[in-house]
Amino acid sequence: MTVQAAGGRQGVDWLRRRSLLMEVGTVALVALFLMFIVPLLLSGFRLNLMGRFLALAIAALGIDLIWGFTGLLSLGHGVFFALGGYALAMHMKLQIPATASSQLPEFMDLYGVTELPWFWRPFDSFPFAAIALMLIPGILAGLLGYLVFRSRIRGVYFSILTQAMTIIFFNFFNGQQKLINGTNGLTDFKTILGATVSDDGTQRSIYLATILLLVAAYAVCRWLTSGRFGRLLMALRDDESRARFTGYNPTGFKVLVFAVSGALAGLAGAMFTLQSGIISPKAMDIAFSIEMVIWVAVGGRATLVGAVLGALVVNFGKSLLSEKFPDFWLFFLGGLFLGVVMFLPDGIVGLIRTQGVEWFRNLTGRSKQLSTYPSLEEDPEAQYERKNIDDRKSDG
């Protein structure tokens, strides 16, 4: 290796380290702002909404991982979201005071159930529930992914299959009145780890935990999408056949990413359930799964940051518009989605990366970003040679 090549390699490594440090610092600053400044600015109600939307941002990261970086559009992530919510909700429903007349969840008494079903019993343990809320949706996503990807099903057919899965689970959970309270879902949670769920202090702790889990989810997704593995995922997204011809078997990689994406959706469902106080089969509705995809599209797919930003912007927009314009807010929301599709195909982050960078350069008086290698554009000898060539053309 020549000295020049070694120097170039060191320069690239230094740029990568600097970019990584800047990203870590930015994430840390945003997390600290959310943890210590935002609670001072928002009321208890708004802070609870912020906690819910941050939980939804975890699910959006999972969607971006599978769709933005791998090119697989899942329209069934509501199932994984709901399974995570049900896993934690079942644990909380079993935290019944010893003074209660029955040691069964109250809805089971209404339907004449006299003995706790076998599949409920392990959820009495919080460690089991904490593992299951990610493991169950992750395993389900992995099994579904294996059956689908080994058959080389992709594109719109994959999306249709995930929608079919959503319909199956939605109808199944709706019909289980005695076992999981059917369409009513699970609600009226009392305690979690001995703390009263409805207390302000408990909700504040849950909010802080949601931020930390979102940061951890972001770190996992960034790790998976960086380096060699990340480049392979994008190769599968852009041209799977060529990646297969180079010796890679896409099945295992896609199954792994889909399983991680499902597990993140389960984690999001559990944290959302903690802060909303209810989980029902409505979370498995196709419309909710499509809405998750819209969050990523609005923020900017294949960016991770865009997934988080899109989830917050869209959900806060829904909340504020429904309060101000209860009869027309859906029209505003539909207009937002149409505007993003027509004018912001790369989402908010894509707009910032293009026009935002140029605007910042103009504002600070920096030179315009060059489309070719900067040293060639700015080198005096290169400019002199270009001028000579232009002079010869004009003379000729």
Spacing of C-alpha 361 from chain mean position: 31
First-to-last C-alpha distance (Å) of the chain: 45
Tens-place pLDDT, residues 193-236: 999 999 999 999 999 999 999 999 999 999 999 888 999 999 99
**Residue 47 near residue 236 (C-beta atoms within 8 A):** no
Tens-place pLDDT, residues 11-36: 656 777 888 889 999 999 999 999 99
Tens-place pLDDT, residues 135-182: 999 999 999 999 999 998 988 999 999 999 999 999 999 999 999 999
**Residue 203 near residue 15 (C-beta atoms within 8 A):** no
d(C-alpha 348, C-alpha 298), whole Å: 6
C-alpha angle 98/102/104, rounded to 5°? 100
**pTM exceeding 0.85:** yes
**Residue 75 near residue 162 (C-beta atoms within 8 A):** yes
Q: Output 372 or 257, whichever has higher pLDDT.
A: 257
**Residue 46 near residue 203 (C-beta atoms within 8 A):** no
